[in-house]
Structure 1
Amino acid sequence: MRILLIAGGWSSEREVSLSGAEKIRQALITLGHEVRFLDPALAFDDILGQAAKADFAFLNLHGAPGEDGLIQAMLDTARVPYQGTGPAGSFLALNKAAAKQIFHAQGIPTPAWEFLPTPPGRDFRPRFPAPYFVKPNLGGSSVHASLVQDPDGLFAALEKIFKSGDAALVEPALSGVELTCAVLGETPLPPILIRPKTQSGFFDYASKYTPDAADEVCPAPVAPEITHALEQTSLAAHRALGLCGYSRSDFILTDSGLMLLETNTLPGMTPTSLLPRSAAAADMTFEDLLARLIELGLGRGLHAH
């Protein structure tokens, strides 16, 4: 097939996207496809023209554009199938405050939160005690995310996010074990336990993209009932947001149980990324994973049109 590989873009996660794209390009060629590359930051106006010459588009974008559903909506108008979720589910999952409302309404456990679309007054205090976890509402890869120990540090963390042009989300900083679980098709993949080795103590940007900066154990060495709960909750989140093809949900296992932090619609595909690791634990090579994503995308394309 003629595949248009779309990666790069202009979000804060541009480099991560490009790093994964090279591995994807090589694997698609190995699978026998003809690959043409497009970076929306450099050739946004060519997307529809290039899509018209392709049989399929493979997206490896993080943040916006990409995870916000914009490129997916454009590909839908060009009637070109692609892997993963369509525009609506993409936008709901990327907007953490919207996704958390949906999780809450569906009875999926997620930490309490305060959504701050604009900078609050200096007398602002979250309705839960410190420490806090502060993150951009739309960003990913833990860019501009901060662990804050007291209200004084809160405003410095918020300022960083508002300066970047995003809205902010404040959650209680839960202590526990970090876990992630992917869904491929309608099947959960083996979950992964994450132990960051960085000073921040959470799975930050450095932990995610520096080889060996975090211990990632797959399958996660947790009790069978926890594995089952991870798989079922990931699938519930995937369905609640109306996602297709694949997703990856991130959790913290606290003393009181599992808490869903967020669900990603375009999980990372770099050599150190979690989804390829999870697929490997299910006896899938990187090429197998891409072939399955294309198969699911073509199936979705038939139903969508």
Structure 2
Amino acid sequence: MKIAVLYGGVSGEREVSLSTGKGIIKALKNKGHEVIGIDFDPSKLKELLQLDVDLVFIGLHGRFGEDGKIQGLLDMLNIPYVGSGVLSSALAMDKAKSKQIFAAEGIKTARSQSYVINQFENTEEIARSVREQFNVPFVVKPNQEGSTLGLTIVKEEEHIDKAIEVAAASDTVILVEDYVGGREVTVPVIGKQGSEQALPVIEIIPKNDYYDFDSKYKPGGSEHIVPAQVSDDLTKQLQEDAVKAHQLLGCDVYSRVDFIIDAHNNAIILEVNTLPGMTPTSLFPDSAQVVGLNYDDLVERFVELSIQE
């Protein structure tokens, strides 16, 4: 097949996307496909408008890649692509909206409140509301951002204003939620809509206090234990909740669902990643390896699922 790989982009996750794109391009070539690599920039759409390919593999992360915008453009151009569509991508990217959906359907989430910046006269007004509703520690983060960019765990009240300022620099809506300490795990999901399956649960042990940008992407920043050393019952629940969350948002082909296991062994969902990192050493390929899918075969499986009627 003739496949275009979109990678790079202009979000804060550009460097990660460059690595994802490089891995995907190599895997597709190893599988015999003709591959066109495109370092995507939304200000230079001519290359996409003139694209003549069988399929697009989206290796972008964050804004203009994971939020449904590029999916909408490809839909209008009638070009098939790997992964979730417009609505599911947009919902997964909107943490507040997706949390509402999960909570309504019985998946445990951390208590949270979103704040639309321009509905307040200043950030001090937001800070007053936060102080009234939350006790430290709590988390302040942009509502639509990936890789923990703009996220602060507020442990002392005097840091609230700075945390709001940092989050507001990345988004027009910020999300404040109770801090849930515990074990960080993630569950890859793969399959066509209605017949998805969860891959082995991965436990992430970050070298820093939490799974921040450096822990995710710097060499040696975290340790991945797969399958995670949790009970059979909890494994079953995590996998069922992951598939359920994936389906509730209408995701397609693949996603990765992040959780915290709290002190009482409750699985608390954090978010669904519709375009998780896909470097050869990323979490999703690590889990797939355990069930006998190497990196090249995994990428090819995504292609096969995307072209099935």
Question: Under a length normalisation based on structure 2, what TM-score does the superposition of the two structures give?
Answer: 0.93
Cross-structure match for 1:74: 73
Cross-structure match for 1:7: 7
Deviation of the 1:126 alpha carbon: 5.5
- Call closer, same or farther: CA 1:166–1:268 in 2, change over 3 Å: farther
2:203 to 193, 197, 211: 193
The separation in 2 between residues aligned to 1:211 and 1:44, in whole angstroms, is: 34
Cross-structure match for 2:128: 123
Q: Contact (CA 8 Å) 2:7, 2:18: kept in 1 or not?
A: yes
2:156 to 129, 142, 150: 150
The separation in 2 between residues aligned to 1:146 and 1:73, in whole angstroms, is: 32
Query: Alpha-carbon deviations, 1:226-262, whole Å to 9, x = none?
Result: 1101100001100111111111110000123110010
Cross-structure match for 2:252: 244
Cross-structure match for 1:65: 64
Letter in 2 for 1:17: S
Q: Do structure 1's residue 37 and structure 2's residue 37 form an aligned pair?
A: yes
Deviation of the 1:170 alpha carbon: 1.1
Q: Contact (CA 8 Å) 1:126, 1:170: kept in 2 or not?
A: no
The separation in 1 between residues aligned to 2:232 and 2:45, in whole angstroms, is: 47
Question: Under a length normalisation based on structure 1, what TM-score does the superposition of the two structures give?
Answer: 0.94
Gaps of 5+ in 2: 118-122
Cross-structure match for 2:23: 23
Deviation of the 1:143 alpha carbon: 1.1
Number of equivalent positions: 296
Q: Do structure 1's residue 270 and structure 2's residue 288 form an aligned pair?
A: no
- Call closer, same or farther: CA 1:267–1:230 in 2, change over 3 Å: same
Q: Contact (CA 8 Å) 1:211, 1:272: kept in 2 or not?
A: no
- Structure 1 residue ranges (4+ consecutive) displaced by more than 3 angstroms after TM superposition: none
Q: Do structure 1's residue 180 and structure 2's residue 181 form an aligned pair?
A: no
Cross-structure match for 1:101: 100
Q: Do structure 1's residue 159 and structure 2's residue 165 form an aligned pair?
A: yes
> 34-43 or 23-32: which moved more?
34-43
Query: Alpha-carbon deviations, 1:270-289, whole Å to 9, x = none?
Result: 23311111111111011111
Deviation of the 1:44 alpha carbon: 2.5
Q: Contact (CA 8 Å) 2:280, 2:295: kept in 1 or not?
A: no
Q: Do structure 1's residue 229 and structure 2's residue 237 form an aligned pair?
A: yes
The separation in 1 between residues aligned to 2:229 and 2:204, in whole angstroms, is: 10
1:123 aligned counterpart, secondary structure: helix
Deviation of the 1:171 alpha carbon: 1.1
The separation in 2 between residues aligned to 1:166 and 1:20, in whole angstroms, is: 28
Deviation of the 1:166 alpha carbon: 3.9
Q: Contact (CA 8 Å) 2:226, 2:287: kept in 1 or not?
A: yes
Q: Do structure 1's residue 217 and structure 2's residue 225 form an aligned pair?
A: yes
- Call closer, same or farther: CA 1:163–1:33 in 2, change over 3 Å: same
Identity %: 41
Q: Contact (CA 8 Å) 1:209, 1:272: kept in 2 or not?
A: no
Query: Alpha-carbon deviations, 1:178-199, whole Å to 9, x = none?
Result: 010010110100010011112x
Q: Do structure 1's residue 136 and structure 2's residue 142 form an aligned pair?
A: yes
Letter in 1 for 2:128: D
